[in-house]
Amino acid sequence: MEKLIIESCPALHGEVVISGAKNSSLPILAAAILAAGSYHISNIPALRDIRTMFKLLKNVGIDSSFENNSAVLTNNDSKEFEVPYELVKTMRASILVLGPLLAKKGRAKVSLPGGCAIGERPVDLHIAALEKMGAKIEVKDGYIFAECDKLTGKEIIFDKVTVTGTENIMMAAAIAEGTTILKNAAQEPEVQDLADFLRKMGAQIEGDGTNTITIHGVEKLHSADYEVMADRIEAGTFLCAVAGVSGDITLKKCPVYALDAVIEKLRYAGLEINIIDDETINAKMNGRIKAVNVQTAPYPAFPTDMQAQFMAVMLKSDGVSVINESIFENRFMHVPELKRMGADISLNDSNAVVKGVPYFSGAPVMASDLRASAGLVIAALMADHTSSVHRIYHLDRGYEGFEKKLNSLGAKIVRTDDNE
């Protein structure tokens, strides 16, 4: 394993190019199961989860090559339908192949997913929707066994908003018989990106970006080329970094349209944000950050994937901020690590109360999940003295060259073997 050694950083200055969105790339790659042919997908980040998805697709008959953030996929229309535990254990998004496999091949055997340990993300919503569409599904021995003659369009009302559930059923419904209506659907930009790709493949989808999505099933889809959207969570993470550390940075290839809630909260906190154009943001911070309350909620509200990074910013605020986590019940695992650095944080159920302090010290800390690791890196840059962040394999699942980009802005971060 590896760790990051992070020195205290006085300020960040310069430009950074935002990578393609992992949370968009994964469902788009999974959608290639739906039609034979060759695909060219660009702006894919070079991440561990992406490499895992390529291996997973290979297992169901899709060859791939990946270079310079572009993938060429070849779907040979094989009969393979099984995804083993070895490929699924590190990535919860692997559940995204269930719907496409079932819809295209009539059978699927997918291991129950792994990934970050940040609470329950039950696949029950996926299973219930597919069963309503005519699938026979059994969960046993750690696997989901599913089969159907032909999926049939139905009205699906999700009990709670689910991004991967919306994506999974949207893909399956694209070649189901009849019309499927998804209610209480996720509205995330990544869902819209997948819908755009499916439309390029010949799907008939309306209403994505709202809470009701209508999919008119077609008999057959075809392969297509596509450019993945930029990563709004990476962009938000760099905005939090400059807010916490201070400085003047410009984000290029940035999905400005998808950042409204994050920009609003950071502006309240004192970050000067200038939107230059649809893909460019300049952000400046001088002086002490203002305390701001935030509550995570499904898009278009403040994203749970930005909670840990925003908490890091609040560590040096001029007052008390309350951070409410409404999405995952176990997403404050970074708090004990921040307290090791001298942060003043108290937990009460789904609330974290953060009392700003003028300074805190570097310390050895351990990442518990992907976004927590980014929050710890920001906190380490803000701290006095040097910190080390361990278990950074979490970080590598979702950020492409994170420490290299920060170093280009003036940070001093070294990646090294972790022998502890």
Separation of first and last alpha carbons in the chain: 9
Is the same domain home to 15 and 137? no
90 plus 217 within the same structural domain: yes
Q: Which of 227, 242, 268 is the last residue of a domain?
A: 227
Q: Which of 202, 227, 252 is the last residue of a domain?
A: 227
- Co-location of 325 and 412 in the same domain: yes
Q: What is the CATH number of the domain that holds 355?
A: 3.65.10.10
Burial class (CB in 10 A: 0-12, 13-18, 19+), 333: middle
Q: Give Cβ neighbours of residue 112 (< 8 Å, ≥ 6 apart).
A: 88, 123, 139, 142, 143, 144
Q: 188 and 242 in one domain?
A: no
- Per-residue burial over 61-86, b if 16 or more Cβ lie within 10 Å, else e, is bbebeeeebbbebebeeeeebebeee
Domain end marker among 211, 227, 243: 227
SS (H, E, C) 259-304: CHHHHHHHHHCCCEEEEEECCEEEEEECCCCCCCCEEECCCCCECH
Whether 243 and 359 share a structural domain? yes
What Å distances lie between residue 297 and 117, 334, 340, CA to CA? 19, 19, 28
Residues 96 and 13 in one domain: no
Residue 111 φ/ψ region, left for φ over 0, alpha for ψ in the -120 to 50 degree band, beta for the rest? beta
Nearest to 52 by CA among 83, 91, 13: 91
In the numeric block, which tokens belong to residue 314?
């609040």
Is 116 marked active-site? Answer: yes
What's the domain count of the chain? 2
What pLDDT score was predicted for residue 420? 64
Query: What are the residue ranges of helices labelled H in 124-162?
Result: 124-132
217 in the same domain as 305:
no
Q: Are the beta carbons of 251 and 233 closer than 8 angstroms?
A: no
Residue type at position 314: M
- Catalytic residue, candidates 9, 116, 148, 254: 116
Q: What is the pLDDT of residue 114?
A: 57
Q: Residue 193 and residue 228: Cα distance in Å, rounded?
A: 7
Domain extent for 335: 2-19+230-417
- What Å distances lie between residue 359 and 2, 283, 288, 355, CA to CA? 27, 23, 11, 12
Specify whether 220 is located in the same domain as 235: no
pLDDT in tens, the chain (420 residues): 899 999 999 999 999 999 999 999 999 999 999 999 999 999 999 998 899 999 999 999 999 999 999 999 999 999 999 998 888 877 778 899 999 999 999 999 998 875 444 345 568 899 999 999 999 999 888 889 999 999 999 999 999 999 999 999 999 999 999 999 999 999 999 999 999 999 999 999 999 999 999 999 999 999 999 999 999 999 999 999 999 999 999 999 999 999 999 999 999 999 999 999 999 999 999 999 999 999 999 999 999 999 999 999 999 999 999 999 998 877 899 999 999 999 999 999 999 999 999 999 999 999 998 899 999 999 999 999 999 999 999 999 899 999 999 999 999 999 999 886
Cβ–Cβ under 8 Å, residues 255 and 43: no
Residues 6+ away with beta carbon under 8 Å from 275:
256, 263, 281
Q: Does one domain contain both 266 and 289?
A: yes
Which residues are CB-contacts of 270 (< 8 A; sequence separation ≥ 6)? 243, 285, 287, 288, 289, 290
Contact predicate 391/373, CB 8 Å? yes
Residues 410 and 309 in one domain: yes
Distance between CA 133 and CA 344 in Å, rounded? 50
Q: What is the pTM of this model?
A: 0.95
Regarding whether 234 and 346 lie in a shared domain, the answer is yes
Please check whether residues 363 and 330 belong to one and the same domain: yes
Assigned token pair, 57: 């697709």
Contact between residue 34 and residue 175 where contact means Cβ atoms under 8 Å apart: yes
The type of residue at 6 is I
Best CA proximity match to 102, nearest among 132, 122, 72, 73? 132
